[in-house]
Structure 1
Amino acid sequence: MILALALSLTASDFQSVAALDTIVTQFTGKEIGEQGGAIAPIDRRLKLTSCAAPQLEWRNDTHDAVVVRCMAPAWKIFVPVAAVPKPRVAAPAPMPANVVVRPAAVVKAEPVIKRGDAVTVEAGSPGFSISRQGIAMNDAPPGGRISVKVDDKQPPLQAIAIEPGRARLPGFAEGS
């Protein structure tokens, strides 16, 4: 009797993975196994500390996984999502034989960062950011790749030019 009581108390200390499956299904709008839904149920063997308010977000823009996170106590899991096929783009209609197509004039964007400029390289996410000063190793237009030397003992960082004197690391959202 005491053993059964101890086991029931211990079991209630853990987060219900069935409840997590339900909120992932609500978040994606698709059932488990459907395209756009979780690939499989969350592993029932997981023993996560009970969480009053789990938070959900997409792992990235491709929506290939849902991140389920608990702030107190701190834990997070990734739930893989079945890929939704991308729509096929129809082939362009053939041009009549008598039409002459001239290439559009290529306008080269002016660099916002030039070789030798002082550059602040930024990285971060909502609620967190870090920056580092460096020297531009090449010219770059807005959105262009740039090498930034931040330490004489390390190879240059690859960053994306944003505006004069400012660049960000690839993979980090602007305005973080």
Structure 2
Amino acid sequence: MEKTMFLAIALVTAAPAGAQDFQSTQALDAIVAQFAGKPMGEQGGAIAPIDRRLKLAACIAPQLEWRGENRDAVVVRCMAPAWKIFVPVAAVPRPRAAPPAPMPATTLVRPAVPVKAEPVIKRGDAVTVEAGAEGFSISRQGIAMNDAPPGGRIGIKVDDRQPPVQAIAIEPGRARLPGFAEGS
């Protein structure tokens, strides 16, 4: 919260009074560097400055977040007026896990037999489909079109005039749309 507030103040003070028609890309570079914790050009910082030719509408409070687990880009988003840009970052390499130790030659290894998980949602069950992100969530009731184990794909009919939506089964009577974080 404090970081977002500081970033908003930095943007307002960084742009000259007559330049409020467009967002200052230099100010965005500064807040990206602050968010990443590394200056531009260093490992963990932005690879290059934001293109000065971009004419983004001025934003009072841009929101920043990492893209993915690799943290290879910072997503800078403005809600009003709506725009979003991705700033590539020189991702910090993560240590790789050590390879498993080789097994002794005398060990007999049997191929794993896949165990079919029991479905938590069955065809015809009433299901609540959820989607959301930080700050909002939405849910809708529907009918399961097939059986699905936890984490399995399931078709859910939410509207008689539309094809079923694809969701991921979580628990009995509950599924979420792919691409949305669980527990939002």
TM-score normalised by the shorter chain: which range applies?
0.7 to 0.9
How far off is 1:68 after superposition? 2.1
The aligned counterpart of 1:3 is none
How far off is 1:70 after superposition? 4.0
How far off is 1:59 after superposition? 3.3
The aligned counterpart of 1:67 is 75
Separation (CA, whole Å) in 2 of partners of 1:89 and 1:127: 35
Structure 1 length as normaliser, TM-score?
A: 0.76
SS at structure 2 position matched to 1:119 = strand
What amino acid sits opposite 1:110 in the alignment?
Answer: E
Moved more, 72-81 or 58-67: 72-81
Match of 1:140 among 148, 163, 168: 148
How far off is 1:29 after superposition? 2.4
Q: Say yes or no: does 1:128 pair with 2:136.
A: yes
Residue-by-residue CA offset, 1:53-94 (whole Å, 9 max, x unaligned): 433212333423212234566544322223444544443222
Moved more, 133-142 or 84-93: 84-93
Change (3 A) 1:137 1:13: closer
Q: Say yes or no: does 1:150 pair with 2:134.
A: no
What amino acid sits opposite 1:28 in the alignment?
Answer: A
How far off is 1:147 after superposition? 1.5
The aligned counterpart of 2:120 is 112
SS at structure 1 position matched to 2:143 = strand
Moved more, 139-148 or 47-56: 47-56
What amino acid sits opposite 2:126 in the alignment?
Answer: A
Match of 2:25 among 17, 27, 41: 17
Separation (CA, whole Å) in 1 of partners of 2:81 and 2:165: 36
How far off is 1:45 after superposition? 2.5
SS at structure 2 position matched to 1:131 = strand
Identity among equivalent positions (%) equals 81
Separation (CA, whole Å) in 2 of partners of 1:37 and 1:12: 27
How far off is 1:111 after superposition? 1.8
What amino acid sits opposite 2:145 in the alignment?
Answer: M
CA RMSD in angstroms, aligned pairs only = 2.9
Separation (CA, whole Å) in 1 of partners of 2:117 and 2:170: 13
Unaligned runs of 5+ in 1: 1-7
Unaligned runs of 5+ in 2: 1-15
How far off is 1:104 after superposition? 6.2
